[in-house]
Structures are given as structure tokens and as C-alpha cells.
Amino acid sequence: MRRIIIDTDPGLDDAVAILLALASREELEVLGIVAVAGNLPLAQTERNSRRICALAGRAELPVYAGCGRPLMHPLETAERIHNDPRLEAVLPEPVTAHGSQHGVDFLIEAVLSAEAGTITLCALGPLTNVAMALVKEPEIAGRIGELVVMGGACFELGNVTPAAEFNMHVDPHAAAIVMESSIPKTIIPLDVTHRLITTNARLAKLDAFPNRCGPAVSALLSGFERNRRVQFGARAKTLHDPAVIGYLLRPDLYRGREVNLVVETQSPLTRGMTVVDWWDVTGRTHNVRFMNTVEVEGFYELLMERLARLP
């Protein structure tokens, strides 16, 4: 069993990722959720995190508010996509208050109090909280078992600018700090997530589940697709953040390689670009495991089977 902490900015697809983790109690022990500003401002991402836990019947799970803005730039959100009325319609009101401790302090204390190497961090949004934790307490870099990040791209390039994926673009300086750290890191980029297309048949199957979470996920993913359709066409149906949890549960579905990855922080044209040395042309030391493909049918079979377990 992995002991995990989810750092997240829900968000429509983040909600599905959290539900997938909470549906996998035999493999994943979720120690807590830390919200970060990203898809939506912090007040919404923190509240949505508690509402998702309530939907899953896990209202007791601790949720903490982390950083409300990136390290160096004003916050850029994706409210046009993620501030969707379906979130209000399908998520219940939160049952408990968020934790009084700052999310960064929770991350640090949880890692330092655990046996080294036994906690996995799952980063579904901008890396602000993780970077701040590393700056405040560098010792945690040697104690985190693995950091699995949804972010970046190699051959797929960007989805918020021509060069950059959203999570990396929002806080490139935080991403650079994290990528330069010694934490064992696995990256789940757009190269993987753009393969995970939620077809109408898959949505219909979710909608027919005899629980409340299946139809809720169908509604969330329908909203996600609808809000992105004009810009992304068929790729509006792709899933991003749940691919991180899928990797934790079924790493055999994913393929990639060890590479060097650097995050661009200076250029206004390529801010947040993940410069991936896929062919080892620079000779720089490998610092991440970068996944570039996934077995799509296996992933969706896993997603469906686990979501069916929820209330």
C-alpha cells in the first residue's frame, strides 16, 4: 500500500482523480489533501476538495489550504473551464472545516514524521506548495519516496501557450525548484493524457452506475469536454489528472524513460516549457522518469471498476 498526499487545484478532472484515489483504499492510503491555487483561486480549490471528499463518503479526510498564488507571477486561472455550474450541481456542501494548519506545513510535518521513503506526493496542479515546502525544509527532498506530477510535455508541446502546459506555465519557478531537487520524480505529461479520450460510450457507462459518484463523474467530464470543445476539438475529451492516480495503481500501463527535464522560466514566449532531453543530446544528468504513452483501454477499465466502488 502506498501512503499518499494529494496536492491539487480542483477543478473538474482533479475531482475525478481524487475520487479514483479514494476508491482505491486497498492500494492507496490518502493521508490528506492540500489545495493550491491554479485552475481556480485557492478559496474554491480548498472548498471543492472538501466537497469531493463528502461526495465519496470520506468527509473526515483532512484538507488543508496551501499557497494562494505562484512564487513570482500573478495567478492565472482556468476559470473559464473549471468554474463550471456542474461542480455546484453534483458536489455536496462540505461537511467539515479545512485544517487550520497551512498546507505547506502539513506537507513538511507529514514527510518528516514518516519513515523515509514511505510517502508519495501526487501533484495535480501548479507546484507552488511542493516548492515552498522544499525551500522551507530542504530535508524533505531526501525523505519523499516519489513525487508523481501531472504536467509538462515533450512532443505534444503546450495546451495553454504554444510551448507550455498549464500547470508548469502557472508557476514555472516553483516547477524549476522541484525539478532541480533530488526527489525521485515521475512526470505524467500531455503526451500521456492526450491519449486518454473519454468517449460518449464511457460517459454513458458512468451515467448508468447505480451509485451517486458514477453519474457525478459523467456530469463533471461532460462539462470539462463542453468547456474545452471550441479550443481543443476531439482532445477536449481527454483526461489529465486521473492519469497520476492511474499510474500509482497500474504502473504497468505506462511507458517512458529516464530523461533530463528543465523548466523554462525566463522567456515570455516559452515560460513554463518543459525542455525534455528525450534523446540524451545534452549529456545532462537524468532527473525525472518521463512517461510518454499509456494503455488506454486498461486505464479506463481501471477507472470504471474503481469508481463503481464508491457510494
Instruction: For residue 231, give Cα distances in angstroms to 118, 132, 197, 200, 227.
Output: 41, 33, 16, 19, 9
> Who contacts 242 (Cβ-Cβ below 8 Å, separation ≥6)?
13, 16, 17, 20, 196, 303
Burial of 5-15, coded b for 16+ CB within 10 Å and e otherwise, reads bbbbbbbbbbb
Q: Rounded mean pLDDT of 10-26?
A: 96
Residue 269: CB atoms within 10 A of its CB come to 10
Q: φ, ψ for residue 188 (rounded to 5)?
A: -110, 95
Q: Rounded mean pLDDT of 272-281?
A: 98
Q: Rounded mean pLDDT of 166-185?
A: 98
Average pLDDT of the residues of the chain:
94
Q: Rounded mean pLDDT of 57-80?
A: 95
**Which residues have a catalytic role annotated?**
240
- The pLDDT, as a whole number, for residue 227 is 66
- The pLDDT, as a whole number, for residue 157 is 86
Could you give the number of structural domains in the chain? Answer: 1
Is the per-residue pLDDT at 255 higher than 80? Answer: yes
Q: Rounded mean pLDDT of 154-181?
A: 96
Cα dihedral across residues 284, 288, 293, 295: positive or negative: positive
- The pLDDT, as a whole number, for residue 298 is 98
Cell of 158: 503546450
Structure confidence by residue, pLDDT tens digits, 189-229: 999 999 999 999 999 999 999 999 999 999 988 877 776 66
Structure confidence by residue, pLDDT tens digits, 82-132: 777 777 788 999 988 899 999 999 999 999 999 999 999 999 999 999 999
- The pLDDT, as a whole number, for residue 236 is 55
Cell 507571477 sits on residue: 73
Cell of 174: 516553483
Are the C-beta atoms of residues 294 and 192 closer than 8 Å to each other? Answer: yes
| Domain CATH number, residue 35 | 3.90.245.10
Among 28-42, 212-226, 228-242, the least confident range: 228-242
Cell of 38: 491554479
DSSP letter string over the chain?
Answer: -EEEEEEE--SHHHHHHHHHHHT-TTTEEEEEEEE-SSSS-HHHHHHHHHHHHHHTT-TTS-EEE--SS-SSS-----HHHHS-HHHHHHSPPPSSPPPSS-HHHHHHHHHHHSPTT-EEEEE-S-SHHHHHHHHH-GGGGGTEEEEEEE---SSS--SSSSS--HHHHH-HHHHHHHHHSSS-EEEE-HHHHTT-B--HHHHHHHHT-SSSHHHHHHHHHHHHHHHHHHHHGGGGGB--THHHHHHHH-GGGEEEEEE-EEE--S-TTTTT-EEE-TT--S-PPP-EEEEEEE-HHHHHHHHHHHHTT--
Residue 207: CB atoms within 10 A of its CB come to 15
Domain of residue 300, residue span: 2-307
Q: φ, ψ for residue 67 (rounded to 5)?
A: -85, 140
- The pLDDT, as a whole number, for residue 231 is 64
Q: How far apart are CA 264 and CA 229, in angstroms?
A: 28
